[in-house]
Every structure is written in C-alpha cells, then in structure tokens.
Amino acid sequence: MTPGSDDPAPRRRGRPSRGERAAGPDTRTRILEAARTEFAERGYDRTSVRGIAKAAEVDAALVHHYFGTKDEVFAAAVELSFEPALVIPSILEGPRQDLGERLARFFFGVWENPVTRAPVLAVLRSALTHEAAAKVLRGFVLRRLLERIAADLDVPDPTLRAELAASHMIGIAVLRYVVGAEPLASADPEKIIEMVAPTLQRYLTE
C-alpha cells in the first residue's frame, strides 16, 4: 500500500528512517500489534520481520531497531497481552480458597477475548513446532508467570503444581479454541470454570 513497504529493508543513513509514517510511541505498539496478528495467523515459521513491517506500514529496519531479531519481536508481542506485573498480583490477592477460580477466570478472560487470544494462540502453535518459540514459552510463561505464582504457594513442589494447573488450561485451550472439540468448544465458560476451578485449587493449595 504505502510506497516503499515492499522494499527489501534498505538501511538508509545507518539508522532506521522514520519511514512513511512518523515513528513514536504509537509505532512500537503498532509493530507489536502487527506482529501479534502475523504470528497468530501465519504461525512462527511463515512470519517474517519484513511481513510484520509491511503489516505495520513501517520500514523493516524500524522493527529491528525497536525489537531486534524475529524471536525478540515474538517475545515482546506475546508479553504485551499478559502484563504479568499487573496480572499476577490480581490473581494472588483475595481469599486463598478462591485462587483456582480466579486463575480459571483469568485464563478464560484471555482466551474468550479475540484480541488477547491471538497472541497466546500464536505462542501455542509456534511452541509446538519451533524450538525458538518453545524457548519463549519456557522463558516467559513459565519463568515469569508460573514461578511467580509458585513463589506465593504454600505447598510442596509449588512450581510442578503450578505447571500442572497451567497444563490443564493449555489443554483446554487446545481442545476448545484450536481443535474445536464438542461439547467443550461450545460450552458456557461459566460452566467450565465451575468444573475446572476445583482442580486448579487442589493443585495450588492442597
């Protein structure tokens, strides 16, 4: 669409040019949102920095400038939706006997919203087929999310238990949102939360 968006990312003036649109705080977000969409729709393998740049209507050099390599764009795109620093306290706060339910609600909140579903779906798809993406999942989801939750638990093997809880939610995501297995795919989220919360609660507190 924009002139130059098909260019093979020429390195003009040794620094990324401001491209066809002005760079600024919005440019970074626009690149991340384009990256999210590209990774989610095409998968890790078929997504390129140049494709992300094109979707964001910026020069590819600007993508490299803000984020570095494709893996680093991927990690940033994934992290954008979670904001673990905000999310984790809100899950851990509140009565301990409702922890499983709060975790289940957080999970369905992310997956039922198409905007936040896209990047997590991208991680899931990519992690299953590409070691680079699996590494992002290990590093981000596990280290940053689960270990911080585990640190707050008063059970033996807290990280293992947090992983078992996470594995259940990951599997539900696979069957409900990706595979579309019925009746799970069409079940009311409230009904699933009611059935799943005691499982999460048991892993995290008993």
Q: Which stretch binds its own copies (CB under 8 A): 22-30, 85-93, 102-110, 175-183?
A: 175-183
Question: Could you give the count of Cα atoms lying within 13 Å of 85 in the half-sphere of its Cβ?
Answer: 2
Cα–Cα distance, 32 to 93 (Å, whole number): 30
Q: What residues have CB less than 8 Å from 84, skipping those under 6 apart? A: 144, 145, 148
Minimal distance in Å, beta carbon 2 to its own copies? 30
Q: Does 151 bind its own copies (CB under 8 A)?
A: no
Minimal distance in Å, beta carbon 119 to its own copies? 15
Q: Does 169 bind its own copies (CB under 8 A)?
A: yes
Minimal distance in Å, beta carbon 195 to its own copies? 6
Q: What does the per-residue mask of binding to its own copies show for 36-75, with x meaning CB under 8 A? A: -------x--------------------------------
Cα–Cα distance, 53 to 75 (Å, whole number): 16
Q: Which two tokens stand for residue 194?
A: 């009611």
Report the residue number, 4 or 43, with the smaller CB distance to its own copies: 43
φ, ψ (nearest 5 deg) of residue 157: 50, 55
